[in-house]
Amino acid sequence: MSSKLASDRTRKEETDMDSPPKTPRWVKVFGIIVLALIVVVVALLLFGPDTFGPGEHGPARHIPSSPTQQP
Amino acid sequence: MIMSPGWRKFALAVHLTLSIGWIGAVAAYMALDFAAATSQDAQTLRTAYLGMDLIARSVIVPLAFASLLTGLVVALGTKWGLFKHYWVLISLLLTIFATVVLLIETRTIRYFAEIASAPTATTDDLRALGSTLGHSIGGTVVLLVILVLNIFKPQGMTRYGWRKQQEQRALSRP
């Protein structure tokens, strides 16, 4: 019985080795999460509050658009 | 080229030290970033922004590049390879992404430090600067994901890895 199971497993592994491996489930889940995060970030950049709005993200958002008036 | 066991352990030790050091440096940076985000005191804000700039430029950026470089050495010098396994490939992409965002963010941090070091900057000027807390937290999460991938090494070979394995098998057959 056990030798049959072992031979089945070996046969399965050999079959697996002869065909390209499928993408693992964890990679698919990871990809979906990354894609969802990208969608959220793009949505925030386009429609979010001021700090995420168009042209408001990145170092430029901290720099005043008009020069500070000197006394 | 596969490294000898001694060199492999040495390279791995250096890579681990630099990578964990990167996470530790980001933790120290986050403490100052949190102070910059919440404090109303001019002296605290000034000190926080100057400290953030110093840690980012002198510690975090060098550690990021060193970690990326030693990671490449460890991957290419061992059986894992760079593109053969999903966990290595994803770790590489995440490290490159974190390093690029870090380099962009250093411009913001530099600007904060320049304002903070100006004697004419008022408390309102400093308060208006804000913080980089969002990026700090996001960066930490990315680094922790890389850490988990490197510890658990989840299985999964890429098509490229499978092709290479088949080539090796064909060569080793009599």
Q: To probe the interface with B, which of A28, A62, A65, A68 has the most B CB atoms within 10 Å?
A: A62
Q: Give CA–CA dist B55/B42, Å, rounded.
A: 20
- Non-local (6+) Cβ contacts of A38 within 8 A are none
Among A8-17, A50-59, B59-68, B103-112, the least confident range: A8-17
Q: What are the residues facing B85 on neighbouring strands?
A: B157
CB-CB contact of B173 with B104 (8 Å): no
Q: Which residue has the higher pLDDT, B26 or A52?
A: B26
* Structure confidence at residue A60 (pLDDT): 55
DSSP single-letter state for residue B85: B
Please check the confidence at residue A65 and state whether its pLDDT lies above 60.
no
User: What average pLDDT does this structure show over B83-87?
Assistant: 96
- Per cent of chain B over pLDDT 70 is 99
Token pair belonging to A65 = 């658009």
CA-CA distances (angstroms) from residue A26 to A39, A62, B104?
20, 39, 30
Check: complex ipTM more than 0.90: no
- Non-local (6+) Cβ contacts of B139 within 8 A are B26, B98, B101, B102
Of A24, A30, A59, the CB nearest to B108: A59
Could you tell me which chain A residue has the CA closest to the CA of B121? A68
Q: To probe the interface with A, which of B107, B126, B153 has the most A CB atoms within 10 Å?
A: B107
A54 to chain B, any CB pair closer than 8 A? The answer is: no
pLDDT band at A12 (very low <50, low <70, confident <90, very high): very low
- Non-local (6+) Cβ contacts of B88 within 8 A are B75, B80, B81, B82
pLDDT band at A54 (very low <50, low <70, confident <90, very high): very low
pTM, two decimals, is 0.83
pLDDT band at B24 (very low <50, low <70, confident <90, very high): very high
pLDDT band at B174 (very low <50, low <70, confident <90, very high): low
SS3 of residue B17 by DSSP: helix
* Structure confidence at residue A20 (pLDDT): 86
